[in-house]
Amino acid sequence: LLRGHVTARIRTSGGSADAPLLDRARAEAAYRELASLRAEIAPGEQGPLFSMLASVPGLFSESRAQDADDATRALVLAAADAALTHFDAARTAEGTALATDMRACLSLFAGHMTLVRERATTASAEAQGRLRERIARLLEGTQVGLDPGRLEQEVALLADRADIHEELVRLDAHAVALAASLADREASHGRRIDFVLQEMLREVNTIGSKSNDIAITRAVIDMKTELARLKEQVQNVL
In the structure, what pLDDT confidence band is assigned to residue 111 with cuts at 50, 70 and 90?
very high
Nearest to 168 by CA among 218, 129, 220, 122: 220
pLDDT, tens digit, 9 for 90 and up, residues 143-202: 555 556 665 665 556 555 667 888 999 999 999 999 998 888 777 788 889 999 999 999
Its pTM stands at 0.60
**CB-CB contact of 90 with 200 (8 Å):** no
